[in-house]
Amino acid sequence: MNTKTPSSVLILALTLIMIMPETPPILALAQTTAMVSINPCFSVGDPGSIFQVEVDISGVPSLVAYDLSFEFNPVSLNATAVDFDASTVVAGTSHFNVATIVDNSIGQVRYAVTLLGGNVVDASGTVTALKLTLQVVGTQDSPISIAAQIVQLVNGVPTTVSNVIVSSCRFVVPPTILIVPPNSDVRPGQRLRRISKAQDHVDLLGYIQLAPNSTRPGFGGVVFDIVGPNGEVQVFSSIAFMFPGNSTTVTASFSYPLDSSSIGTYNYSVLAVRCVTTTACIQGTKAYMSLDGPFFKVKA
């Protein structure tokens, strides 16, 4: 939390509100607790890939100014695009940008802004204060943190919010997930399915390993790329937690309509899914065919 008192944002907010009244102030009856969060909190990627994050503010019913410093490890990440006010909470308002700084040499994006003339925005719910596109430039993890100062209108007076809770997040290099023989399979007894027997799905199996030279545990799975009578579809498997060198089997279920449109042969392959949590994942690009027969059939 940034505890500078007073900041340039607060000074400007006080000055601009006092000398440029446009609308009557919306009164906040008491101080509040502001939440500043990064969404998503966990990010994952390989060198060269890009991902988007946003900084959100909540818990401030009469927001008048804020000063955010988004900080990261420049050895791992660079900010390639920043949306300060085109589609954030101040878009369309009368406001003044105090600071719009992107410095990849130190790993910092700073945005300080104040609304003009007594205007406020309602940030009691979650609003977006900053949007960033980041590119992965290295193979090291990176903490992602926020220093924040929030100013709200309290009984007509711009006041620094004394209690600001900020989230600490992280970019994590994904684990190396290996597809291991026989790569994938259809559950025994399900390679041939019949609509007449109300068999409306096929259970698929994927075989994976967390690379033995990994330095920490990780999560992994597969995505089944299935091509059949109705075109191509991808089905994600369950996600498994593994220690380095461990192997496991992940599963997925492919469902289809019980009608003639489903009749035919389905071919499939698998791609690795590499995760740092059960939801923060990236998909591999190399497809592996099953060594036990990369197909199943649906008949009438």
pLDDT tens for each residue of 133-181: 999 999 999 999 999 999 999 888 899 999 999 988 999 999 999 999 9
Predicted structure pTM score = 0.81
Closest of 202, 139, 212 to residue 180, by C-alpha: 212
Report the C-alpha gap between 102 and 117 in whole angstroms.
28
Does residue 19 carry a pLDDT above 90?
Answer: no
Does residue 212 carry a pLDDT above 60?
Answer: yes
* Angle subtended at Cα 168 by Cα 166 and Cα 173, rounded to the nearest 5 degrees: 155
Per-residue pLDDT band for 118 (boundaries 50, 70, 90) equals: confident
| pLDDT at residue number 2 | 40
What number is the average pLDDT over the span 255-279? Answer: 96
Per-residue pLDDT band for 194 (boundaries 50, 70, 90) equals: very high
Could you give all domains of the chain from N- to C-terminal order, each with its CATH number?
Answer: 8-172 (2.60.40.680), 177-299 (2.60.40.10)
% pLDDT > 70, the chain: 90
What number is the average pLDDT over the span 65-82? Answer: 98
Does residue 72 carry a pLDDT above 50?
Answer: yes
More confident call, 237 vs 7: 237
| DSSP state letters, 67-107 | EEEEE--TTTEEEEEEESSSSSTTTTS-EEEEEEEEETTTT
| pLDDT at residue number 168 | 87
Report the C-alpha gap between 81 and 197 in whole angstroms.
55
| pLDDT at residue number 16 | 56
Does residue 244 carry a pLDDT above 60?
Answer: yes
SS3 assignment, position 13 = helix
pLDDT tens for each residue of 268-277: 999 999 999 9
In the DSSP assignment, the letter for residue 25 is P
Does residue 51 carry a pLDDT above 50?
Answer: yes
Closest of 217, 212, 139, 137 to residue 172, by C-alpha: 139
What number is the average pLDDT over the span 34-54? Answer: 96
| pLDDT at residue number 12 | 57
